[in-house]
A and B are shown apart, each in its own frame.
Chain A
Amino acid sequence: MYKGGKIIASLIIFVGLLTIPFFYNMGKVNAGPEINLDTPAILALAPADQQCVESPEVMKANHMQLLNQWREAAVRDGQSVYINSQGKSFEISLQNTCLNCHSTEAEKASVTGGMSNPAFGSTQFCASCHDYNAVQPLCYTCHIGSKEAAK
């Protein structure tokens, strides 16, 4: 092969650089995200109402698509109510529906304290998974914590 030595050497260096993260993290403890589903707001609900807007499986796999659908429906079509597969209605609002349950007093305090990124300011609900997966949704550059937050 023409200049074979150089090519193979460069390839090895290239592959080496590419795999640094794997070697770097090798053997380290890999603690998965801790999803906190028992916030005081959720526990205060009657057991029958404790399910999220859809079943946990659907929410785990599809919450991003559902949020996108909600956004289109509420902002563009003016449809502000979501009726789920069990016929239950929910107000379409990230701030007043989702975050009402999925936040704790500590997070609410961080909102009033002027923190601009409530969910990401803590290790709580959204952040725990998203940080783990290195996904940075931009929701909270605009949306703010729940209703009680302002108190």
Chain B
Amino acid sequence: MSINRRQFLRRAGMLTALGFGGAVAFTGFRKKEVAEAAEYSLKQKAVLATRWAMVVDMSKFKTEDDFNRVTEACHRLHNVPDFKNTKDEIKWIWKDDYHHSFAGGHNQYLDEHIVHSPFMVLCNHCENPPCVKACPTQATFKRRDGIVAMDFHRCIGCRFCMAACPFGARSFNFKDPRPFINEVSPEYPTRTAGVVEKCNFCYERLAKGEQPACVEKSNGGLIFGDLDNPNSEVRKIVSTKFTIRRKPELGTQPCVYYLVGGDDHA
């Protein structure tokens, strides 16, 4: 009649297993019919590439406005909040001076003007991105077209990618960004607190057949194209002119090239 503890636990365990098993059996059977005949495809207008890259022609960036216009176009489109402090700051494309952007080993006689001349910096969309390797959930990943993208839905906010990125291209949402967005752009979602974000080479615009927002507003200062295509303008510049990249010695193969002192394009 009476049962001992061991028997009780065994029976309770079996009942629990039965319950879970039954639940799975029920839900498992009903899932299937989600849109069987459906397919996914690209937009017809979409511009395609296998290795998106950017050339920053520094000769085209002369005034303060040249920089601000580009940053503003990007930040407004992507709902990048403005926290007005460096601690919580979020930025996708911004300017920094030469000797900080291209850190390490400058000749000490370099003209002050050059040392402090501003450069446009953004995510380099590296060919061997350390951030992608670091991410424990594949929330940041490399697309087939070379763009290093973020899946904000999946990011757990561990910030391993921020530690891994040698270019300081990544920002973290330390606070809810919504109250700090002046004018919400309906073209792109905002982010939630606790995820990392960065430049995405405007893949949402490329999918619609448009150029990245910064390129559009740069008056030719930013040149965007497919590095794998020998006829693309970026490829011509990169192969024939003298360009520099940030920290190439780390082997990440940055895809943002800086054309310094070249006025005419190839």
Contact = CB atoms under 8 A, between A and B. Distances in A.
Q: Do chains A and B touch in the complex (CB under 8 A)?
A: yes
Interface of A: 54, 58, 61-62, 65-66, 69, 71, 73, 75-86, 89, 91-92, 95-96, 111, 116, 138, 141-147, 149-150
A77 B207 CA distance: 11
A79 B204 CA distance: 10
Please indicate which of the listed interface residues B42, B141, B189, B208 has the most CB atoms of chain A within 10 Å of its own CB. Answer: B189
B36 interface: yes
B153 interface: yes
Interface stretch (B7-15, B53-61, B142-150, B252-260): B142-150
Contacts of A77: 40
Interface residues of B, number: 35
Contacts of A116: 178
Given A73-B40, A144-B190, A78 B34 contact: no
Contact of A141 (B151, B186, B192, B203): B192
A144 B34 contact: no
Interface majority SS on A: helix, strand, loop or mixed?
A: mixed
Contacts of B86: none
Interface in B184-235: 184-186, 189-192, 203-204, 207-208
B144 A71 contact: no
16 contacts: A65-B34, A73-B40, A78-B42, A78-B144, A78-B207, A79-B42, A80-B43, A80-B46, A81-B42, A82-B40, A83-B39, A86-B37, A95-B186, A95-B189, A144-B184, A150-B184
B149 A75 contact: yes
Interface in B240-260: none
Contacts of A96: 186
Contact of A84 (B35, B143, B153, B185): B35
Contact of B189 (A83, A85, A144): A144
A84 B36 CA distance: 9
B33 interface: yes
A50 B144 CA distance: 36
B125 to A, nearest CB: 14
Nearest to B150: A75
Interface of B: 30-31, 33-43, 46, 141, 143-145, 149, 151-153, 178, 183-186, 189-192, 203-204, 207-208
Contacts of B186: 95-96, 144-147, 149-150
A138 B91 CA distance: 24
B261 to A, nearest CB: 36
B34 A80 contact: no
B35 A62 contact: yes
A86 B39 CA distance: 11
Nearest to B147: A78
A143 B40 contact: no
B202 to A, nearest CB: 12
A108 to B, nearest CB: 10
A141 B179 CA distance: 12
Contact of A62 (B34, B41, B143, B151): B34
Given A78-B144, A80-B43, A150 B185 contact: yes
A83 B191 contact: no
